[in-house]
Amino acid sequence: MKRIEIPLKNEKHRVFKILMIGNSFCQFYIDELYGMARAADIECKIVSVIAGACTLQKHWTWYESNEKNYTMLIFDENGLSSVNDMGLDDCLAQDEWDVISYQDGEYYYRLGGLEDARKNTEPYLTNLVRYIRGRFPDAVHVFHHVWAYQTGYYRPKKSPFKVETFEAQNKMHEDLSSIALEACQRHGLFRIPSGDAWRIARQDVRVGDTLCMPDCEHDGELQGGQYLNACVWFETLFGRSCIENTFSPAYALPAEKITALREAAHRAVADVYGSDYAK
């Protein structure tokens, strides 16, 4: 298998196979990423290996004990399907992967802030990357930089964590950014800058602090986060601008908000990879 790099170069009859290892933060937008790729005549298969609130620590300890706690979500030309009761090795063995992503567990940030999040990132990420890269040395390995929660976030049943002010939101962003940057530098991973895109979008008056993912307990006016994530992944993986992509999400979003989200994703990717990266 030939070693590949991002941006992935479209080839005739090539189906790019993308595996995301994480939790619900890599679940709700795989259909939209697939739709954006197809709109650009790129064939792909996108698989999310998920367990609710799963962390890097759990991913590694479950692998060591061969626990089968995952749901594997698959989106390809046949639409969405899922397989339950999977172990990590079961999921890895499903295909020859072109892209494999890892995701920090913001769960520990909710429990104990930056110090606790760092403590529960290593050595588990090191172990995962070493093992998975050994199995798939020719794949592109990436780190999904996740986002700060919206102000007003509070789920007392899950943890006592609150985001009461914009200052608290900004601190969460900076802390999660430091974890992502450290992970990428230590392990030579490419970065999917979703967290940066969320911050940029929130500073736009057409969006404001209205972004949310479907797994959070908020009203229907808080939406668009999954589409923004799809735009960021699309640009980072394929080096194509999302600005003119013809795919639109199935749920209702105002046209001006869609434009703002595309622009935020484009700027976030440009800030990391350069203004000529995605055209």
How far is residue 56's CA from residue 34's CA, in Å, rounded to a whole number? 25
CA angle, 27 then 222 then 37, to 5°: 40
Tokens 């090539």 sit on residue: 14
How far is residue 58's CA from residue 40's CA, in Å, rounded to a whole number? 36
For 147-197, write each residue's pLDDT tens digit: 988 888 776 665 667 888 999 899 999 999 999 999 999 999 999 999 999
Q: Is residue 217 scored above 60 in pLDDT?
A: no
Domains and CATH numbers, the chain: 15-272 (3.40.50.1110)
Structural tokens at position 79: 């639409």
Confidence of residue 134 (pLDDT cuts 50, 70, 90): very high
How far is residue 192's CA from residue 231's CA, in Å, rounded to a whole number? 11
Note whether 155 and 129 are within 8 A (CB). Answer: no
Q: Which residue did the predictor score with more confidence, 14 or 159? A: 14
Structural tokens at position 229: 């994530």
For residue 252, the one-letter residue type is: A
Share of the chain above pLDDT 70, in %: 92
Q: Is residue 37 scored above 80 in pLDDT?
A: yes
Report which secondary-structure segment, H or E, holds 267. Answer: helix 255-273
pTM of the complete model beyond 0.85: yes
Burial 202-211 (b: 16+ CB within 10 A, else e): bebebbebbb
**pLDDT score recorded for residue 20:** 97
Computed over its alpha carbons, how large is the radius of gyration of the chain? 18
